[in-house]
């Protein structure tokens, strides 16, 4: 079972166009997918879910669409707060949230505070985020410490860079899913996703629900993750403890477990 699933939620607008609906309708329907995928991850026992919600590049979209997205974010976070709290889901954000409207920051901060003790699932929303922004921010902090004499060149290693990223509290993603069919990372988790298994689906985000997540996890479980090693080395390093697959996990949780949002 992947420990950390990260998703590039793409295709809201194209889904709406296919339905002869306004783009805003696609974004609202995308919220339903967020609820369903969050619930499915919690039920499967995936402890970390990160959703690429709004990139730094998305600020270049038309003002009306940006405003609609920010308004939808405020309403959704406010509406889902109690459900998150009741179902053991912790909400956190990564990215330059200082760029968000004050109403968004307020709702996000309040929800993060009240859910901080939850441990069932950590749901991270990447907002005003880009991988390059995060790496540049880490580089500036390294330069500042070096200038102050607190850091020597030999002190700079991968662990230090990881600790300075906004994702430092999260494990690296095991499975990175992109909906909408595009074959690119779009500046998402560039450092953290070095060894993530990637899966691209043609389904637009509003049409990606738990059944598609189950399929993605099954494919992940069928892959051989070598991390640069040859097959014999990988096989020798793996522990032989049996692992429950997604079908078994799903079947074992059909009884009434409280649903995450």
Q: Are 23 and 16 in contact (CB under 8 A)?
A: yes
Q: Report the DSSP beta bridge partners of residue 52.
A: 8, 126
**Rg of the chain's alpha carbons, rounded to an integer?**
19
- Beta carbons of 170 and 4 less than 8 angstroms apart: yes
**Structure tokens of 34?**
């967020």
| Catalytic residue ranges | 10, 58
Identify the CA nearest to 37 among candidates 174, 200, 189, 207.
207
* Contact indicator for 178, 200 with CB cutoff of 8 Å: yes
């Amino acid at each position: 079972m992947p420990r950390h699933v990260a998703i590039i939620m793409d295709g809201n607008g194209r889904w709406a166009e296919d339905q002869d609906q306004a783009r805003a309708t696609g974004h609202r329907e995308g919220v339903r997918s967020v609820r369903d995928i969050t619930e499915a991850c919690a039920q499967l026992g995936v402890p970390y879910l990160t959703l690429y919600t709004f990139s730094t590049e998305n600020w270049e979209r038309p003002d009306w669409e940006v405003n609609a997205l920010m308004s939808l974010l405020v309403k959704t976070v406010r509406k889902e707060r109690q459900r998150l709290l009741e179902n053991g889901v912790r909400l956190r954000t990564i990215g330059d949230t200082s760029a968000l409207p004050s109403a968004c920051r307020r709702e996000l901060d309040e929800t993060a505070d009240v859910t901080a003790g939850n441990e069932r699932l950590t749901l991270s929303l990447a907002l005003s985020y880009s991988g390059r922004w995060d790496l540049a921010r880490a580089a500036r902090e390294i330069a500042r410490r070096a200038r102050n004499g607190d850091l020597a060149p030999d002190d700079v290693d991968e662990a230090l860079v990881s600790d300075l990223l906004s994702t430092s509290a999260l494990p690296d993603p095991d499975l990175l899913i992109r909906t909408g069919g595009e074959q690119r990372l779009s500046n998402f988790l560039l450092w953290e996703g070095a060894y993530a298994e990637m899966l691209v689906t043609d389904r637009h985000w509003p049409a990606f629900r738990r059944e598609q997540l189950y399929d993605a996890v099954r494919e992940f479980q069928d892959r051989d993750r070598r991390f640069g090693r040859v097959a014999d080395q990988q096989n020798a390093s793996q522990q032989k403890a049996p692992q429950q697959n997604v079908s078994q996990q799903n079947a074992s949780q059909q009884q009434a477990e409280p649903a995450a949002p």
